[in-house]
Amino acid sequence: MISIPSPSRAQSTSGVTDNEILIGSCSALEGPSHFLGTETVTGAKAYFAMINEAGGVDGRKLKLVAYDDSYDPAKTEACFNRLMEQKVFALGFFVGTPTAVKYVPMAETNKIPLVGLFYRSANPVHPFASLGRKRSRLLFR
């Protein structure tokens, strides 16, 4: 479970203000697999809108910042760095196995939660095995 800091600590927590929680996403928004990323981001934004209409999380509105990685592992580092520059609180709604294997170690190194990876695991008993990693306390599926 991810805990949201109290208002007094919000200013010192990356991506959290008294009014907003910033979540970042890198997905295939362009290219041949764009339908996967655009549908995932559209669904996340719809869910965030529902949460925000109900008062948000501890009074804070959820905001999703989404960038394109075109389902291309070569674009993952630049996309991830853009999100880090935005100082997001957490990452979510990433699409693709070839990109996930790049994002998971970056999230672990930066100690930022990664929620909602959409990827195909070759091993349903140990779903993280296809990412070449053991389950991390920062990775939520």
CATH number for position 29: 3.40.50.2300
- pLDDT category of residue 132 using cuts at 50, 70 and 90: low
Q: What is the pLDDT of residue 123?
A: 46
- Share above pLDDT 90 across residues of the chain, in percent, rounded to a whole number: 61
Domain range for residue 80? 13-140
| Ramachandran category for residue 64: left, alpha or beta (phi over 0 → left; psi -120 to 50 → alpha) | beta
Residue 5 lies in a domain: no
* Position 126 pLDDT exceeds 60: no
Pair 29, 41: CB distance under 8 Å: yes
Interval 42-101: pLDDT, tens? 999 999 999 999 999 999 999 999 999 999 999 999 999 999 999 999 999 998 888 988
Number of domains, the chain: 1
Query: Which range has the worst mean pLDDT, 10-24, 28-42, 118-132?
Result: 118-132
| pTM across the whole model | 0.79
Higher pLDDT, 41 or 96: 41
Q: What is the largest CA-CA distance in the chain?
A: 45
User: Phi, psi at residue 132, to the nearest 5°?
Assistant: 70, 20
Residue 45 lies in a domain: yes
